[in-house]
């Protein structure tokens, strides 16, 4: 008999909990979980404790069962599993599509894009003079997964540079179309933004050109022919 390793067992347990409703708070007994997971009650109880100890689930035991909710760490394991299956079944030549909601950022994009050390590189490497500012998007869960696909593709590198007073970090970018308009995703090496946020530069003022307001949903398309896989 071939035994699954710990991570595979954890992934299977998390998947079963998710299918039972564990992405929200789920009330379940170890006996019911054992039946659903097709394992012994002892193994099921041990697996749940392991998941709790590793921070993959939040659990509160009560008299007639337990309340369980999959944590962000547990969801990340499931997202990684989902991504691996997508690589098997999806057409790897198809464009990568992101959906994002427009929001107003901190206004830093205008400052950084206007710096000569960045602007010259963007003109040279992207082939356009960027509008002084970035369009900020909050991307959905599916798009967060697709960012991982993008990270496996050779990016256009933006090198760090120094001024008299400070050093400015580098980053990478990917040429895209946003609602059919030319642009590029900018990914700084260091950023305070969370993983669900995306910055876009373009030769045009995208808010004006595309008549965008905060809350509008836009489509960002990366054609895989624009970069090779690493």
Per-residue model confidence as pLDDT tens digits over 157-208? 999 888 878 888 899 999 999 999 999 999 988 876 688 999 999 999 999 9
Does any domain span residue 44?
yes
> What's residue 92's pLDDT?
66
- Residues 29, 70, single domain; the answer is yes
Per-residue model confidence as pLDDT tens digits over 14-71? 999 999 999 999 999 888 999 998 889 899 889 999 999 999 999 999 988 899 999 9
- Residues 36, 138, single domain; the answer is no
Give the CATH number, domain containing residue 141.
2.40.30.30
Does any domain span residue 1?
no
- Residues 98, 192, single domain; the answer is yes
Q: How far is CA 185 from CA 35, 110, 138, 198, 200, in A?
A: 47, 15, 13, 7, 5
Provide the mean pLDDT of the chain. Answer: 87
Q: Is the pLDDT of residue 7 over 70?
A: no
Boundary residue ending a domain (44, 78, 112): 78
Rounded Cα distance between 202 and 186, Å, is: 10
Q: How confident is the model at residue 6 (pLDDT cuts 50, 70, 90)?
A: low
- Residues 65, 135, single domain; the answer is no
Choice among 62-66, 148-152, 153-157, 207-211 with the minimum mean pLDDT:
148-152
> What's residue 88's pLDDT?
78
> What's residue 65's pLDDT?
86
- Residues of the domain holding 19: 6-78
Give how many domains the chain has, as a whole number: 2
Choice among 119-128, 153-162, 221-230 with the minimum mean pLDDT:
221-230
Give the CATH number, domain containing residue 37.
1.10.10.10
Q: How confident is the model at residue 226 (pLDDT cuts 50, 70, 90)?
A: low
Does any domain span residue 128?
yes
Does any domain span residue 85?
no
Boundary residue ending a domain (78, 110, 136): 78
CB 2 within 8 A of CB 8: no
Q: Is the pLDDT of residue 89 over 50?
A: yes
- Residues 119, 185, single domain; the answer is yes
Residue 120: count other Cβ atoms within 10 Å of its Cβ: 12
- Residues 184, 102, single domain; the answer is yes
């Amino acid at each position: 008999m071939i035994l699954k390793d710990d991570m595979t067992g954890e992934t299977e347990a998390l998947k079963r909990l998710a299918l039972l409703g564990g992405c929200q708070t789920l009330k379940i007994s170890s006996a019911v979980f054992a039946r659903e997971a097709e394992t012994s009650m002892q193994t099921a109880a041990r697996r749940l404790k392991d998941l709790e100890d590793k921070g993959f689930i939040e659990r509160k035991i009560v008299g007639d069962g337990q309340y369980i909710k999959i944590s962000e760490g547990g969801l990340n394991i499931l997202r990684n599993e989902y991504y691996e299956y997508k690589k098997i079944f999806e057409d790897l030549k198809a464009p990568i599509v992101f959906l994002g909601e427009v929001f107003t950022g901190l206004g830093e994009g205008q400052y950084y894009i206007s710096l000569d050390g960045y602007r010259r590189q963007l003109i040279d490497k992207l082939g356009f003079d960027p509008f002084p500012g970035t369009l900020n998007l909050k991307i959905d869960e599916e798009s967060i997964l697709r960012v991982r696909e993008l990270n496996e593709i050779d990016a256009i590198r933006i090198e760090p540079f120094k001024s008299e007073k400070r050093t400015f970090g580098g980053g990478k970018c990917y040429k895209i179309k946003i609602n059919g308009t030319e642009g590029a995703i900018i990914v700084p090496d260091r950023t305070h933004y969370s993983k669900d946020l995306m910055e876009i530069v373009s030769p045009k003022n995208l808010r004006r050109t595309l008549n965008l307001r905060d809350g509008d949903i836009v489509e960002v398309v990366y054609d895989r022919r624009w970069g090779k896989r690493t």
